[in-house]
């Protein structure tokens, strides 16, 4: 007995008559299902459509619920402490003369420049501001600069005193002797005289110390002694003693002891206390707030002189590295650094990106942006397309021609160049990330409405000739109601299918713009802008977790929309087998 016979057999006497129970797939029940239920049944019978729907549900949960559950925020930067060799100080062998001027004297920039010029041309004298100078090389790289004061002038082999001066006894004889011996200097009664020639004239001048120019660097052990160490008397006396390889000298009425080392010389007080250090190696901290003890500088100079590479100071090991002509003193320092490109771990399941942000959290927020852009753009272009296409298809004639030419005009606009231009303008104007997002969605919506408009127009041109539209004419309802209550609803199934398919395309297009740097900007994230980080070949080949998850999410989302779109297309097909 068939199932149909079972449901229609005659009940026994005195038994109540029960309504037959129909299954959901019973043929008689299907005949009375609403169109929506029929579409739903066809859709859910499509396995690929169900797979696509599951994928989209997962994507929406991941993108909109995930950030709520995530312990991190979209722009949270993570730091870590690492032991790294950090530059602490720098050293260089001094090649620039440093000047120590006698108290009360002047030796300015012009005089120093003329001195260097005379030194380069090996001229014994030079002038600056009408003042005559000479110099004496005390040691290699150290010069004592003298100011000359004229005493007499040679006139036809006879000395004549200059105004305001007198010629000491024996000066003329000593001068003639020195001139005959072609000497430029001579001494008389403990006074040193200089012979200078200007053109055809010769002059005899006395000397006076003005400044000391030296490549040597003086470092006081006690900062309170800087004024003494920097004085002309102390430096000249110490340099003269070093020149003569002496072990003692006196300056400013105080005795000092000299100890010679490798690359530096130590000057001590008479009590044997370290007072100053002399060297041609400059050692300075890279952070000017730091103070380097002279003992530290001594070790650096010793290592540089002996061509060493490491030394230990107060229990800390330092490394000396030569780069070109500069020496860098490095030490292991605990530094706070950003966790850039950290590989996946229990703390960060998909690692961190180039800004030290949690990659999974960025993907969640990026999914929000990508899906929101897709839906807003599709809704915007569909609404515009329905309005323009509906009016154009219903009225036809001149209205149809004008609106279709408008569609042709929009289709003639170069799409990518316009996006690039708008992106460059927004970069120049430094538009905020959120404003840029809204502008991008508006541009994509305004540039993509022509397809739905043509589709709606074509469908309405066909539907308006059918019998139900003739009935609307007889009832006398207004035109807007005819278009949007009777014509457009008949086009909606096709629009839903097309819109679902376009969602995947918009998401891919937004991802492309993000990859090219024309889409969403930092600190907002989208799947495309996340992949943009992998435009560097090294990042792409080394840090797979930067681009692979974002690419997989785009792939799955687009596949999901395509599967759902295909399922809706088949479900809305009236010729589809029930």
- 147-195 residue pLDDT tens: 888 888 887 778 888 888 888 888 888 888 888 888 888 888 878 888 8
The contacts of residue 192 (CB under 8 Å, 6+ apart) are 185, 186, 206, 207
CA distances from 454 to 224, 380, 497, 549 (A): 89, 15, 15, 37
Q: Quote the CA–CA distance of 41 and 286 in Å, as a whole number.
A: 75
Phi-psi region of 280 (alpha: psi -120 to 50; beta: other; left: phi over 0): alpha
> Is the pLDDT confidence value at 473 over 80?
no
Of the pLDDT bands very low, low, confident and very high (cuts 50, 70, 90), residue 8 is: very low
The span from the CA of 253 to the CA of 275, in Å, is 15
Q: What is the pLDDT of residue 361?
A: 94
Cβ neighbours of residue 151 closer than 8 Å, sequence gap 6 or more: 161, 162, 165, 167, 171, 193, 204, 205, 206
Q: How many CB atoms lie within 10 A of CB 366?
A: 27
Q: How many C-beta atoms surround the C-beta of residue 480 within 10 A? A: 11
Domain ranges of the chain: 41-70+358-572, 93-275
- In percent, the amount of the chain with pLDDT more than 90 equals 27
Q: Using the predicted structure, report yes or no on whether residue 538 has a pLDDT greater than 90.
A: no
In terms of Cα–Cα distance, which of 503, 504, 365 is closest to 437? 365
What is the reported pLDDT for 27? Answer: 53
pLDDT at 234 over 90: yes
**pLDDT (0 to 100) of residue 397:** 83
pLDDT-derived band at 472, boundaries 50, 70, 90:
low
DSSP secondary structure string, 399-461?
A: HHHHHHHHHHHHHHS-HHHHHHHHHHHHHHHT--HHHHHHHHHHHHHHHS-HHHHHHHHHHHH
Q: How confident is the model at residue 59 (pLDDT cuts 50, 70, 90)?
A: very high
**Candidate ranges 156-160, 432-436, 531-535, 546-550; pick with highest mean pLDDT:** 546-550
Q: What is the pLDDT of residue 410?
A: 86
Mean pLDDT across 137-146 = 90
Fold designation for 41-70+358-572: MetI-like fold (1.10.3720)
Q: Which residues pair with 134 in a beta bridge?
A: 125, 146
Which pLDDT does position 112 carry in this prediction?
93
Q: Of residues 395 and 230, which shows the higher confidence score? A: 230
Q: Is the pLDDT of residue 125 over 60?
A: yes
Instruction: Kindly report the backbone phi and psi dihedral angles of residue 243, in degrees, each rounded to the nearest multiple of 5, phi listed first.
Output: -60, -40
Distance CA 373, CA 371 (A): 5
For residue 313, give the H/E element and its range: strand 310-313
Please give the average per-residue pLDDT across 333-341, as a whole number.
85
* pLDDT above 50 for 318: yes
Q: Which residue has the higher pLDDT, 397 or 251?
A: 251
Lowest-pLDDT range, 21-35, 355-369, 447-461?
21-35
The more confident residue out of 11 and 507 is: 507
141 torsion bin: left (phi>0), alpha (psi -120 to 50), beta (else): left
Can you give the pTM of this predicted structure? Answer: 0.58
Question: d(Cα 72, Cα 74) in Å, to the nearest integer?
Answer: 7
3-class SS at 317?
strand
Residue 277 gets the label, from left (phi > 0), alpha (psi -120 to 50) or beta, of beta
Tell whether the torsion through CA atoms of 552, 66, 501 and 417 is positive or negative.
negative
In this prediction, residues 353-381 reach a mean pLDDT of 90
Share the mean pLDDT of the chain: 84
């Amino acid at each position: 007995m068939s199932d149909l016979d079972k449901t229609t057999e005659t009940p026994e006497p005195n038994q109540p008559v029960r309504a037959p129970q129909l299954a959901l797939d019973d043929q008689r029940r299907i005949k009375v299902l609403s169109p929506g239920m029929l579409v739903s049944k066809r859709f859910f019978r499509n396995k690929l459509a169900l797979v696509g729907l599951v994928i989209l549900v997962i994507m929406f949960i991941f993108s909109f619920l995930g950030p709520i559950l995530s312990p991190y925020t979209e722009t949270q930067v993570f730091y870590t402490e690492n032991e790294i060799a950090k530059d602490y100080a720098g050293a260089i062998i001094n090649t620039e003369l440093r000047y120590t001027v006698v108290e009360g004297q002047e030796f300015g920039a012009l005089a120093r420049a003329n001195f260097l010029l005379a030194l380069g041309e090996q001229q014994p004298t030079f002038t600056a501001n009408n003042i005559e100078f000479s110099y004496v090389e005390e040691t290699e790289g150290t010069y004592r600069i003298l100011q000359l004061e004229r005493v007499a002038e040679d006139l036809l082999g006879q000395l004549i005193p200059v105004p305001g001066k007198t010629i000491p006894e024996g000066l003329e004889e000593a001068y003639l002797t020195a001139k005959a011996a072609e000497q430029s200097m001579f001494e008389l009664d403990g006074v040193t005289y200089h012979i200078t020639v200007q053109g055809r004239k010769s002059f005899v001048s006395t000397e006076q110390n003005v400044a000391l120019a030296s490549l040597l660097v003086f470092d006081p052990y006690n900062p309170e002694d800087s004024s003494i160490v920097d004085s002309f008397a102390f430096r000249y006396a110490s340099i003269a003693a070093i020149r003569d390889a002496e072990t003692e000298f006196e300056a400013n009425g105080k005795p000092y002891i000299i100890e010679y080392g490798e690359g530096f010389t130590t000057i001590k007080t008479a009590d044997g206390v370290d007072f100053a250090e002399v060297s041609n190696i400059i050692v300075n901290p890279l952070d000017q707030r730091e103070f380097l003890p002279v003992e530290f500088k001594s070790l650096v100079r010793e290592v540089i002189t002996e061509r060493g590479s490491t030394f230990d100071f107060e229990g800390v090991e330092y490394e000396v590295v030569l780069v070109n002509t500069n020496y860098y003193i490095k030490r292991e320092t605990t530094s706070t650094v950003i966790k850039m490109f950290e590989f996946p771990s229990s703390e960060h399941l998909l690692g961190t990106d180039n800004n030290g942000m949690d990659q999974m959290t960025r993907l969640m927020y990026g999914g929000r942006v990508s899906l929101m852009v897709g839906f807003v753009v599709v809704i915007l272009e569909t609404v515009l397309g329905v309005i323009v296409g509906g009016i154009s298809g219903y009225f036809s004639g001149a209205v149809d021609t004008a609106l279709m030419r408008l569609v042709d005009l929009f289709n003639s606009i170069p799409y990518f160049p316009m996006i690039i231009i708008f992106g460059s303008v927004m970069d120049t104007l430094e538009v905020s990330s959120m404003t840029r997002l809204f502008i991008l969605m508006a541009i994509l919506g305004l540039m993509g409405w022509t397809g739905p408009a043509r589709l709606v127009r074509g469908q309405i041109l066909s539907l308006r000739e059918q019998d139900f539209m003739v009935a609307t004419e007889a009832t006398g309802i207004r035109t807007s109601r005819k278009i949007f209550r009777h014509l457009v609803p008949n086009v909606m199934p096709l629009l839903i299918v097309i819109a679902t398919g376009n969602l995947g395309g918009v998401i891919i297009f937004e991802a492309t713009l993000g990859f090219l740097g024309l889409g969403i900007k930092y600190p907002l994230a989208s799947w495309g802008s996340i992949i943009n980080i992998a435009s560097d070949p090294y990042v792409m080949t080394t840090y797979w977790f930067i681009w692979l998850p974002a690419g997989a999410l785009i792939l799955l989302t687009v596949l999901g929309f395509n599967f759902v779109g295909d399922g809706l297309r088949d479900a809305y097909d009236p010729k589809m087998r029930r």
